[in-house]
Amino acid sequence: MASERGGRVELCCTKRENDAQVTVSDTGRGISEEFLPCVFDRFRRGPIKISGDDGLGLGLAIARYVVEAHGGSICAHSSGLGRGSTFTVHLPFVASGAALSPVQ
């Protein structure tokens, strides 16, 4: 996620019936409709190159791997370039004694 100076990043955590939902939204550069289906692929980088942005295209692939390893899911949404993006993570609760707690 990247937001320009003066942009906004919001984090929202919600406890639902069977899982926790974490949503991160920004007002940054957004994701093109063409790139959105492969945003979590390893070594894939968007078409926009920002000065100093020398990543390998692994961050979101690693995030997906970790979330799925814990039985969860992650998805991305964007209304297009220049319109920000939203990433939503669902992590299931598991029984731990008598109480429910997030998967560790």
Q: What is the pLDDT of residue 98?
A: 43
Task: Write the CA distances from 78 to 5, 45, 83, 89, 90, integer angstroms.
Answer: 19, 15, 7, 15, 18
Q: Is residue 43 part of a domain?
A: yes
Number of H helices, E strands in the chain: 1, 5
Condensed to tens digits (0 to 9), the pLDDT of residues 10-56 reads 999 999 988 999 999 999 888 888 888 888 988 877 665 554 566 67
Which helix (DSSP H) or strand (DSSP E) does residue 64 occupy?
helix 59-69
Q: Is residue 3 part of a domain?
A: no
Report the CATH number at residue 90: 3.30.565.10
Which helix (DSSP H) or strand (DSSP E) does residue 12 occupy?
strand 9-15
Domain that holds residue 26: 9-102
Q: Is residue 77 part of a domain?
A: yes
Cα radius of gyration rounded to whole Å, the chain: 15
Does position 90 have pLDDT exceeding 50, yes or no? yes
Does position 1 have pLDDT exceeding 70, yes or no? no
- What mean pLDDT, rounded, does the chain reach? 82
Total domains in the fold of the chain: 1
Does position 101 have pLDDT exceeding 70, yes or no? no
Residue with tokens 């390998």: 56
